[in-house]
């Protein structure tokens, strides 16, 4: 029982980061039907920015907000340079464009920075734990879970209570009709990319704190986790994305600790197999979305 | 107020609308009638910016707005209640209305919400209900109220009575009367030609993509050659 509870807490910590990534992917998918395979590049770019400022002696207190700023700006820049040119194109074109951005960004870091791993210090408390009864809880997980909770509440408030949030929801439901009401397609799409970048930035802080390094291909892992979580939740559903992220985190932790020693290194593979199974029985994901109109 | 001249809109090679000339003066209620496939919805879509016309011009309030996107058309004062209502079903009644007033300041939006609550008592009772739960008649009223939230100079409606029970059709025509008495300018596409002629100052008759004739209700009813228009739609 304690073991299970321990797994759940660990899984919640891991899943929170996935949830933030998946939410950013779902927000973009909602307004422009783009499954953004370049989402992880926001973390790659933030990682290199962090590396650069650590060289000039910055500390995590300054680096953390910088990561958010860099991630938002990178998200807006990618929209401007790449995705704004394929608005309204077929889903397949959008998909290929996002792959293109993904490969281009990693190639640029290989060519102009370095192909090798760039390391920076991790905050000292990342590995600290504290005990509650017989549970051993990571300080890091606790911070991640709390920050994610606050972020999700703030995002929900943004979507429910602000005109930007209403516009975003209206555009996701029926883009043409939203425009008929006067919702500007430019502002709602840029806003979606900014929000997506902000969520990726918050996730990125934790991702980079734990990794303590960045590589040109460092965006693949967070991208895969985010995309999978969004798919598990039912693409386009924001609640689904969060649930999908948490479910993915839990599944990873549970499997890693429960699988026989010989199979444990293959946890990722087992998770993918389970996801494949889920899609066989529930291709629309956990939450069904009435299909959104495309830009 | 609205001058549409020589407007042609194509879907691929097919001209759904050919050389249409339509004008609406301030304070007028104008009907647009004709059988299915006559190009009525295409005409409204081309005026509202949903469709890009291939040629011709749309001049509104003295400005040439031909081919402008819908968000620009709305800002110039044109609002469209689209075919099939297209309300945001996952959002509440109030949220739908707020989106309708997205171009207005927060204060003005609050005033307009109060105004809509008075004009549409049915909606006031369901303020926080998701719009997907509304009946057909309520949803149509919401669609109209949502368009009015932008304080349009010209309100265009596409088939507002489609699929409604007779008693609700009456309610929509009463609403058009109320809006007319408020001095609003309205252009309505309507399948129910006879009733539309009763409610409108003037009407245009469309057939196979062309505007064939215009006149007052009395004038158009005289035209026996338009008989199919009245029974056909």
Determine, for residues B91 and A170 on separate chains, whether the beta-carbon distance falls below 8 Å: yes
Q: What is the pLDDT of residue A269?
A: 85
Q: What is the pLDDT of residue B229?
A: 62
Q: How many CB atoms are closer than 10 A to CB A89?
A: 18
Determine, for residues A177 and B69 on separate chains, whether the beta-carbon distance falls below 8 Å: no
Strand order in the sheet with B78-81: B78-81, B154-158, B185-189, B29-33, B202-207, B210-215
Determine, for residues B74 and A176 on separate chains, whether the beta-carbon distance falls below 8 Å: no
Residues in chain A within 8 Å Cβ distance of B99:
166-167, 170, 178, 181, 183
- Positions of E strands within chain A: 118-119, 129-132, 135-138, 213-214
- The span from the CA of B55 to the CA of B10, in Å, is 10
Closest CA to A42 of A191, A203, A280: A203
Q: What is the pLDDT of residue A292?
A: 45
How close does chain B come to A258, measured CA to CA in Å? 41
Looking at the DSSP bridge assignments, the partners of residue B58 are B4
**pTM here?**
0.91
Count residue pairs from A and B with Cβ separation < 8 A: 63
Q: What is the pLDDT of residue B46?
A: 96
Q: Minimal Cα distance from A163: which residue of B?
A: B102
Residues in chain A within 8 Å Cβ distance of B86:
174, 177
Per-residue burial over A142-179, b if 16 or more Cβ lie within 10 Å, else e, is bbbbebbeebbeebeebbeeebbbbbbbbbbbbbbbbb
How close does chain B come to A19, measured CA to CA in Å? 22
Q: Is the pLDDT of residue A295 over 50?
A: no
Q: Is the pLDDT of residue B58 over 70?
A: yes
Q: What is the pLDDT of residue A290?
A: 58
Determine, for residues B71 and A179 on separate chains, whether the beta-carbon distance falls below 8 Å: yes
Average pLDDT, chain B: 92
Least confident span in A112-126, A252-266, B105-119: A252-266
pLDDT tens digits for B180-196?
999 999 999 998 888 89
Q: What is the pLDDT of residue A3?
A: 84
Q: Is the pLDDT of residue B232 over 60?
A: no
- Residue B161 contacts A where some CB pair is shorter than 8 Å: no
Determine, for residues B48 and A180 on separate chains, whether the beta-carbon distance falls below 8 Å: yes
Q: Which residue has the higher pLDDT, A291 or B38?
A: B38
Q: What is the pLDDT of residue A293?
A: 37
pLDDT tens digits for B199-209?
999 999 998 89
How close does chain A come to B100, measured CA to CA in Å? 5
Pairing of strands B55-60, B154-158: unpaired
Which of A174, A177, A180 has the highest number of chain B CBs within 10 A, making it the mutation to test binding with B? A180
Cβ contact A244:A231 at 8 Å: yes
- The span from the CA of A234 to the CA of A288, in Å, is 6
Q: Which residue shows structure tokens 């949803």?
A: B139
Least confident span in A71-75, B166-170, B216-220, B224-228: B224-228
Nearest to B71 among A173, A174, A185 (CB): A185
Q: What is the pLDDT of residue B230?
A: 59
Average pLDDT, chain A: 92
- Residue A276 contacts B where some CB pair is shorter than 8 Å: no
Per-residue burial over A50-64, b if 16 or more Cβ lie within 10 Å, else e, is bbebbeeeeebeebb
pLDDT band at B231 (very low <50, low <70, confident <90, very high): low
- The span from the CA of A210 to the CA of A226, in Å, is 17
């Amino acid at each position: 029982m304690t073991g299970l509870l321990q797994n759940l807490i660990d899984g919640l910590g891991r899943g929170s980061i996935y949830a933030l990534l998946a939410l950013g992917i779902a927000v973009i998918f909602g307004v422009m039907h783009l499954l953004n395979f370049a989402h992880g590049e926001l973390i790659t770019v933030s990682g290199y920015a962090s590396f650069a400022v650590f060289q000039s002696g910055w500390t995590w207190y300054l680096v953390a907000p910088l990561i958010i700023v860099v991630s938002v700006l990178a998200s807006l820049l990618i929209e401007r340079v790449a995705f704004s040119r394929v608005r309204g194109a077929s889903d397949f074109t959008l998909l290929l464009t996002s792959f293109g951005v993904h490969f281009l960004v990693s190639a640029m870091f290989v060519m102009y920075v370095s192909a090798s791993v760039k390391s920076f210090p991790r905050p000292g408390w990342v590995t600290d734990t504290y005990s509650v009864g017989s549970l051993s809880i990571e300080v890091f997980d606790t911070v991640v879970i709390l920050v994610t909770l606050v972020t999700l509440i703030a995002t929900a408030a943004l979507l429910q209570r602000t005109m930007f949030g209403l516009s975003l929801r209206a555009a996701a439901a029926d883009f043409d009709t939203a425009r008929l009401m006067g919702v500007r397609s430019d502002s709602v799409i840029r806003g979606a990319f900014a929000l997506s970048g902000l969520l990726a930035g918050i996730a990125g802080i934790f991702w980079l704190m734990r990794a303590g390094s960045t590589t040109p291909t460092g965006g693949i892992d967070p991208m895969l986790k985010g995309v999978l979580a969004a798919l598990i939740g039912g693409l386009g559903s924001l609640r689904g994305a969060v649930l999908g992220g948490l479910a993915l985190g839990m599944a990873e932790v549970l499997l890693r600790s429960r699988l026989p020693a010989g199979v444990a290194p293959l946890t990722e593979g087992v998770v993918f197999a389970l996801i494949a199974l889920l899609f066989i029985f529930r291709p629309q994901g956990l939450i069904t979305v009435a299909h959104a109109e495309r830009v | 107020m609205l001058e549409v001249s020589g407007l042609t809109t194509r879907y691929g090679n097919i001209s759904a609308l050919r050389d249409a000339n339509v004008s609406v003066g301030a304070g007028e209620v104008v009907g647009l009638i004709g059988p299915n496939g006559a190009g009525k919805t295409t005409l409204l879509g081309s005026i509202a910016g949903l469709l890009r016309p291939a040629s011709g011009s749309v001049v509104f309030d003295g400005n040439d707005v031909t081919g402008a996107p819908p968000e620009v058309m709305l800002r110039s004062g044109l609002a469209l209640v689209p075919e099939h209502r297209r309300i945001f079903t996952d959002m509440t009644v109030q949220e739908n209305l707020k989106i309708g007033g997205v171009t207005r300041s927060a204060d003005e939006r609050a005033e307009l919400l109060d105004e809509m609550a008075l004009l549409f008592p049915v909606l006031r009772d369901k303020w926080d209900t998701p719009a997907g739960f509304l009946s057909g008649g309520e949803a149509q009223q919401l669609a109209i109220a949502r368009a009015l939230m932008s304080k349009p100079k010209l309100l265009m409606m596409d088939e507002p009575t489609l699929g409604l029970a007779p008693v609700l059709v009456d309610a929509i025509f009463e609403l058009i009367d109320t809006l007319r008495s408020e001095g609003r300018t309205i252009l309505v596409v309507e399948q129910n030609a006879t009733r539309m002629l009763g409610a409108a100052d003037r009407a245009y008759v469309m057939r196979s993509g062309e505007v064939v004739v215009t006149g007052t209700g009395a004038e158009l009813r005289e035209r026996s050659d338009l008989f199919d228009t009245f029974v056909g739609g």
